[in-house]
Copies of this chain bind each other. A is one copy, B any other.
Amino acid sequence: MSLQAPKDMAAERDAAKFDIEKLAHYWAGGEERYKHLQRAFKFMASDPELVMQPPRNILDTTRPEIREFTMGQIHRYAKVLQDPLYKNDSDFKEALFQALAMYSESFSMRIGVHTALFKNVLNMLGSDAQREQWLDDIENFRVIGCFAMTELGHSSALRDIETRATYDMATDEFVIESPSITATKWWIGMAGKTATHTMVIAQTYINGKHYGHNWFVVQLRDRETGELMPNIVAGDIGAKVGRSGLDNGWIQFRNVRTPRTNMMSRWVSLSRQGEYTPAPSPVVMYATLIPERIMLTVNCVGMVTQALTIATRYGVVRRQGHKNEQIMDYLSHYGKLVPAVAFMYMTHSACMTVNEQFKVLTAGGDMDPMTYLNHVGDMHAISACFKGYVGWFGSDILETCRRCCGGHAYSAYNAIGSLIDDWGVLTTGGGDNVVMLQQTTRILLHRLEQKLDMDEYPELQFKSSTHYFTKAKEYVAWSNWTVTNVEDCLKDLTLVEDALHCILLNSISNELKTGSTHNDLLLDEARAAELHGAAYMFSDAVSKFGSVNHADPALDKGVAGIMHRLTALWGVHVLHTFSDQGYKEGVLSPAQIKAIEKLYLKLCKELRYQVVGLTDAFGYPDFVLKAPIGKYDGDIYEPYFETVLNAPSSTGKPPYHAKYIQPLTTQGGK
């Protein structure tokens, strides 16, 4: 077995019909970025402050240990940023950040609240003067920030937030107050023990009048002593399911005072005399939530690709069954793992597109409010359904990976358990997924109501995710999918697009007709949004890889070829997954559905021998994956056994032998 496994692994790599390294370059965002990432991996691998060195195992630590280690990583990372050797090497600094985030979800989220949340709100909602005041301190960690939105009694419903900010004109300050226990800010990353400052969202009252939400910087701790500031009560939230290295915390504000100038004022302003000028639209105040959702989606991709790499590698070296097959040869393995891998390539590609679109729209915070307002609904729709759809499907895939590793995923040392535990926050945090998906569908319904009677749909400058709505009337009139030989789809992927759009538009137009409440349609609405997201990914990939000949000429031919095959598989997968909806709407017949299923399983089987190459290209070194059963070389059993032997007190008598065992086993018997 031990000899066979590495041979099996090598044979899988040989079977790849593309250059694995070239695909790895593509995945990393180009050969240059790939090389910087490799440099970063090499740099950190032997650094004991960045990567836990054997025999210590980061998958087997106590809460105090991992909290300290994670803050140590940030400390060390901050020092590297300031090191003259790297200070001006922004490629390396970015790569190191990425590499560390891959290695530790606790690091990723601990530093994420500081940069992607705290700093990003300042960047997008703060005035130039405010940015000038704070940015340098933030970037150098003289100020360590957190993001206080969620409250104990209120999560996704911002409207119900209880924390109040009342303007006191006498002192030119806001008074921040938590009026009840349910108003306690809760889950706030880094608030538990670390953050010196927080960006808090609160209901704003000026001269007794309510002006909705605003964002305020409030100091939490003394930068010298680390003690809490007066009238701040805060603490650590204790044991969580995952990300134990992050000090999630709670905060109560007992009439804390913060200067008027600490209210974020890019879009709103408040004069010394209490004259309040609101934002052009309240929508701009939540602009940071869109990149947060994309960031969470990208985080999902990072975690799921690690689990897939582990499960795939184990699947090709584990042998079992009547003919001692590689377990990957079972349909229950490849039929689940292959489409999951395709999904990751699709999500990765679509997130790049959406990120690009968002950058165009916001111009790094300097966006034109009107352009932004015209298109933000569309960005909201696509980012929300990505977060929901990828979050849910990703959960399923992690569970699939767990089951594909059999009992060995139950060992903490094979990493999948900790990925699942760390994952938890992604499906409920950053906007509950049900709510996210429902919001997307409401936008779709609204768009459909607006446009169904239009003969033409004006070309948008901004590329809308609902572009296919221009053909809504046609699709709804169509009603059934006319393809009789489903294999034709492989020659023309737009046939699949047609089917998906036809199913979606029929189902939401039928929803409009029922006259039922949104609540009665809630599950249908969530599903429609999932289909919108899945279909968007497909269309995005069709435009990039749909025709091998017309793909980006900069793309390697082998890479273009495999991406084309993954795109085709993805389209058929989505069609298969939503075929029940198609049947209910009268779009698909049982014969078509059976043919789709057959084609789908055939495409999965054809890609069975590509899985190792495809997951290799995600580019994770063994020390990032951490799982002995997911080792690159396939030689898994001895290192796994060694990991177990390295565990604290893995052998010898337990300390409780004399107290609890011996008294039983030495009782006088018959």
Which A residues form the contact surface with B (CB < 8 A)? Answer: 1-2, 57, 59-60, 62, 64, 67-68, 71-72, 74-75, 78, 136-137, 140-144, 150, 152-157, 159-160, 180-182, 184, 186-187, 193-194, 196, 223-224, 226-227, 234-242, 247, 250, 320-322, 324, 329-332, 335, 395, 399, 402-403, 406-407, 409-413, 417, 420-421, 424-425, 427-429, 432-434, 519-523, 526, 579-580, 583-586, 590, 593-594, 597, 601, 637-638, 640-641, 643-645, 647-651, 653-657, 659-667, 669-670
Contact = CB atoms under 8 A, between A and B. Distances in A.
Nearest to A656: B68
A640 B250 CA distance: 12
Contacts of A2: 180-182
Given A238-B647, A332-B526, A424 B411 contact: no
A78 B663 CA distance: 10
Contacts of A322: 159
B335 A663 contact: no
A237 B331 contact: no
Contact of A223 (B224, B330, B645, B665): B665
Nearest to A181: B637
B235 A654 contact: no
Given A335-B523, A406-B432, A409-B428, A417 B241 contact: yes
Contact of A661 (B71, B235, B667): B71
Contacts of A421: 241, 417, 421
B410 A647 contact: no
Given A1-B180, A424-B402, A522-B332, A241 B142 contact: no
Contacts of A411: 237-241
A429 to B, nearest CB: 6
Contacts of A250: 641, 644
B187 A519 contact: no
A561 B429 CA distance: 40
Nearest to A406: B428
A412 B239 contact: yes
Contacts of A330: 434, 519, 522
25 contacts: A2-B180, A2-B181, A59-B239, A67-B656, A68-B654, A72-B659, A72-B660, A136-B669, A156-B320, A157-B321, A224-B666, A226-B657, A235-B645, A237-B647, A238-B413, A240-B410, A241-B412, A242-B410, A331-B521, A332-B434, A395-B399, A402-B424, A403-B427, A406-B432, A421-B421
A235 B644 contact: yes
Contacts of A420: 241
A650 B240 CA distance: 13
Given A238-B60, A410-B240, A412-B240, A654 B247 contact: yes
A223 B332 CA distance: 45
Contacts of A227: 653
A237 B643 CA distance: 9
A142 B668 CA distance: 8
B75 A181 contact: no
A651 B406 contact: no
Nearest to A668: B142
A651 B236 contact: yes
B75 A154 contact: no
B140 A667 contact: yes
Contacts of A143: 665
A278 to B, nearest CB: 22
Contacts of A669: 136-137, 140, 142
Contact of A155 (B335, B407, B580): B407
A104 B239 CA distance: 18
